[in-house]
Amino acid sequence: MSPKNHLKLRVQAGLKSFGMWLQAADPTFAEIAGLVGLDFVIIDQEHGPGGVQSAIDMMRALSGSTTTAMIRVPSSDPTYLKRIVDAGAQAILVPMVDTAVEAKTIVDACRYPPLGRRGHAAGVVRGARYGLSTDYLQTAHESLLIVPQIETVTAVRNAREIASVDGVDMLFIGPSDLSGSAGVLDQTGAPEVERLIAETVTAVRSAGKPLATVPRDGKSWQALFEDGFAVVASGSDIAIFRSAAATLAQEWRAYRDRR
């Protein structure tokens, strides 16, 4: 049988899920995230350096935990999507999805016929446990979480249609790129951005789909859960290490300069 997708099960059960970003493509950070008990991690391949092999290494590092690896792919390229689901990705986050047509193309690349157009190599791919999951062809779509990102003004206008595509499980609002699309780059708490986010929330909920996001100016991860978001990712391996290293360096300089 295919391995359980704990994040998808939590979302389906209406449970809130909390996770973080992994941008260094390092399995050690993935393993730590699993050991501390986060619900999920987002392995960022849009802004991070990783590829298919590093994603596999990180998923292996999580295999002893119930922490789900969500892979943010570089783009909606169907060829890469097919490769990453063959590699065993259980959750796919796709940036900059503007239309329902794009969302349908993404779903088709991730699901086998008759539900999609994914190529068949289930006898050997890691996603099927190298052929040991004999029901994989029939059940792979059930344990896959497909999440388009709403990051542009165009996507907001089409949010309900995107959410309504069969096979789209959840939508992820990206406030940083949305602020750029709205003409107020890096002002994620600007009134125009707040209006666009509220419009997206209304549209997606009307389609009956859950929502994910990240903290933004004026909205902590706790506040976002109170607002009804099902999934929130906060913090990243690089940012946490940078902050800790900078603090150590500051403490060293303060000590050194006293002497």
CATH number at residue 71: 3.20.20.60
> What is the Cα–Cα distance from 23 to 42, expressed in whole angstroms?
8
**pLDDT of 255:** 96
Is-catalytic flag, 141?
A: no
pLDDT tens-digit profile of 68-77?
999 999 999 9
User: Residue 18 belongs to what H/E stretch?
Assistant: strand 17-22
Domain presence at residue 1: no
Query: Is pLDDT above 90 for 163?
Result: yes
Q: Residue 89 in contact with residue 62, Cβ under 8 Å?
A: no
What is the domain range of residue 206?
Answer: 6-258
Domain presence at residue 123: yes
- How many structural domains is the chain composed of? 1
Average pLDDT over the chain, rounded to whole? 97
Domain presence at residue 122: yes
Domain presence at residue 94: yes
Domain presence at residue 144: yes
Distances (CA, A) of 57 to 27, 120, 233: 6, 23, 21
pLDDT tens-digit profile of 89-147?
999 999 999 999 999 999 999 999 999 999 999 999 999 999 999 999 999 999 999 99
> What is the Cα–Cα distance from 160 to 152, expressed in whole angstroms?
14
Three-point CA angle 92, 98, 5, nearest 5°: 15
Closest among 111, 105, 50 to 85, alpha carbons compared: 111
Q: Which of 6, 47, 120, 141 is catalytic?
A: 47
pLDDT tens-digit profile of 14-45?
999 999 999 999 999 999 999 999 999 999 99
User: Residue 11 belongs to what H/E stretch?
Assistant: helix 6-12
Domain presence at residue 97: yes
Pairing of strands 145-150, 68-72: unpaired
Closest among 139, 122, 142, 140 to 131, alpha carbons compared: 122
The confidence band for 259, taking pLDDT boundaries of 50, 70 and 90, is: confident
> What is the Cα–Cα distance from 146 to 94, expressed in whole angstroms?
8
The confidence band for 1, taking pLDDT boundaries of 50, 70 and 90, is: low
* CA Rg value for the chain: 19
Closest among 188, 105, 93 to 150, alpha carbons compared: 93
Dihedral angle over CA of 215, 61, 72, 186, nearest 10: 30
Q: Residue 217 in contact with residue 189, Cβ under 8 Å?
A: yes
Domain presence at residue 227: yes
Query: Is pLDDT above 90 for 83?
Result: yes
User: Residue 113 belongs to what H/E stretch?
Assistant: none
Query: Is pLDDT above 80 for 12?
Result: yes
Q: Which residue has the higher pLDDT, 4 or 220?
A: 220
Domain presence at residue 71: yes
Q: Residue 70 in contact with residue 43, Cβ under 8 Å?
A: yes
